[in-house]
Amino acid sequence: MKGKLDFLYRDEHLVVLNKPSGYLSIPDRFVPEKPNLVHQLEQTYDKAWIVHRLDKETSGVICFALNAETHRSLSMQFEQRQVKKIYHVLVDGQVSPESGAIDRPIAPHPTIPGKMMPSAKGKAAKTLYQVRKKYRDFTLLEADIKTGRTHQIRVHFSSIGFPLSVDPMYGRRDALALSEIKKRTFRLGKGQEERPLLRRLSLHSASLEVKHPVTGELLKIEAPYHKDFRAVLQQLNKWNAYD
């Protein structure tokens, strides 16, 4: 992994990182040498336990325990839904109403390995959302997931017609370029090739609230946007916002 880990909180019991996109949370089962946060942490600490996972292409807040007792305590909080996880999500279209709940069970896709889908036979899944800002062609949302199903946010917003702006599996594109933000006003110089602003999921784990397993203190931890996500929002505010 290039660069240093971005610590948002750390003590002798646990660490919270601002995960970069493109890195696994845990070692890959088939290719364990792929860059992952557990191995990176274990270069500094004797042992690190994952408490909750983020998809490889998702950025933001992620928590690790540094001993078995802390791991048990934090895992129980997650299992009993005593934590609050907020995600910021950029989706296509103008989401309406301004807030709401998506309550749709999710199950594995019957023919596409690794893909999930809404299904009455699936596991219960609930996502609350609130609009943070509407643009002409996109919406920035805040999502509060009440369950932790695989690809839950991606599946849920796609299922109501507002897929993530960058999501090759459930959305319409695998990268977002300035031309799609500026639309008719976009001009590319002769011989120039456009480079996308965002080449990964438009999904960021923005904040986490959890009780410290030893002190009982309520930890409220926020993760700043990474450079690529910031760049997209800057361009949206400049070229796709309402006048």
Provide the pLDDT for residue 210: 97
DSSP the chain: --S---EEEE-SSEEEEEEPTT-BSS--SS-TTS-BHHHHHTTTSS--EESS---TT-EEEEEEESSHHHHHHHHHHHHTT-SEEEEEEEEES--SSSEEEEE--EEE-SSSTT-EEE-TTSB--EEEEEEEEE-SSEEEEEEEESS--TTHHHHHHHHTT--BSS-TTTSS-S-B-HHHHHGGG----TT-----SB-S-SEEEEEEEEE-TTT--EEEEE-PPPHHHHHHHHHHHHHTS--
CB burial of residue 108 (10 Å; 0-12, 13-18, 19+) = middle
pLDDT at 1: 46
CA distance 187 to 204: 30
* Confidence (pLDDT) at 194: 85
**At which residue do the structure tokens 């090759």 appear?**
168
Q: Rounded to an integer, what is the distance from CA 19 to the centroid of its chain?
A: 10
Amino acid 96: pLDDT: 94
The residue to which tokens 């274990």 are assigned: 42
pLDDT in the model for residue 191: 67
Q: Is-contact 94 139, C-beta < 8 A?
A: yes
Kindly report the length of the chain.
243
Q: Which residue has the tokens 């594995």?
A: 108
Q: For residues 187 and 178, what is the distance between their CA atoms, to the nearest angstrom?
A: 10
pLDDT tens series, the chain, 243 aa: 455 899 999 999 999 999 999 999 999 888 888 889 999 999 999 999 999 999 999 999 999 999 999 999 999 999 998 999 999 999 999 999 999 999 999 999 999 999 999 999 999 999 999 999 999 999 999 999 999 899 999 999 999 999 999 999 999 999 999 999 988 777 776 667 889 999 999 999 999 999 999 999 999 999 999 999 999 999 999 999 986
Six-digit token pair at 30? 């088939």
| pLDDT value of residue 243 | 67
Global pTM reads 0.93
Work out the number of other CB atoms within 10 angstroms of the CB of residue 7: 10
Q: From the candidates 55, 92, 167, 228, give the one annotated as an active-site residue.
A: 55
Instruction: Give catalytic status of residue 55 as yes or no.
Output: yes
CA-to-CA distance for 186 and 93, rounded, in angstroms? 19
Angle at 227 between CA 235 and CA 48, to 5 degrees: 150
